[in-house]
Structure 1
Amino acid sequence: MEDTTSTLPDRGRELIARPEQTPDALRAALAVVAPGRLAEMQATKDEAFAKAVEWQSVSPVQSWVLRWARDIEITRRPGLSARFERAQSMLEDEDPGLAEQALRELAAVLDEAMKAVRG
């Protein structure tokens, strides 16, 4: 049987609903779609909050929220996640043309996810 999932639109094929952009909602979503990344999320959250205090700015916290909202967006959508993983696996291909194509695809996936979470 041919795998056609990568050519089908993602709409309606989401593992979970898009979470609110709050630390608690993002953590709960990550616990469902990628629990192995919870420690990474906590470490980057701690760094963001420390920078926010040091810089006297909420910018690091806002960046942290957007980064994790984007990553969860990719992970919660199987088609987008498959594109991301495929592109990542080809980044260091010996063929420079394939590696460049993979880089473009990776950028397209990240852009699509960021647009989705920014509404």
Structure 2
Amino acid sequence: MTTPHTDGDGPLIPPSELTLSALRQAVATVAPSRLPEFFEDLQKAFIRAGDEDSVVPIRMFYRQWAVVVEIERRPETARRLHAAEQAISSADPDVRGRAIREAGEIVRAAHREAAGG
């Protein structure tokens, strides 16, 4: 992980590796207020993995947080997603529809990036 980059609309940090320490550091850099949620999700993933005798919950945890980092490392993308999330509760069905589409596009793009392209 390198120091944050704040040039224009570019990403604050490079893409995160899918390791626990890299994801933890990335979350601490781009969304520090979400660290308690990160650790709670980590604990739940390991408990579930033990209960199910499967690594799938751990892989899902890594993927979920890679997507969060992918969105939050790009300030304009994060701003758009958070605005869309707020607009989803609008009384206007057209506003809600646009917000749902916008949020979906952002999250799908982040999933593609987190999966390597």
Structure 2 unmatched ranges of 5 or more: 1-8
Distance 2:22 2:61 in 1: 13
Give the aligned CA root-mean-square deviation in angstroms: 1.3
Deviation at 1:104, TM superposition (A): 1.0
Identity among equivalent pairs (%) = 34
The separation in 2 between residues aligned to 1:96 and 1:62, in whole angstroms, is 36
- 5+ residue gaps, structure 1, are 1-11
Give the ranges of 4+ consecutive aligned residues of structure 1 lying more than 3 Å apart after TM superposition: none
Q: How many aligned positions are there?
A: 109
1-structure distance, mates of 2:24, 2:50: 21
Matches of 1:49 and 1:93 in 2, distance apart? 37
Deviation at 1:79?
Answer: 2.0
Shift of the alpha carbon at 1:78?
Answer: 1.5
* 1:11-90 alignment, distance < 5 Å: 13-90=10-87
Aligned equivalent of 1:110: 107
TM-score (norm 2): 0.89
Distance 1:80 1:66 in 2: 18
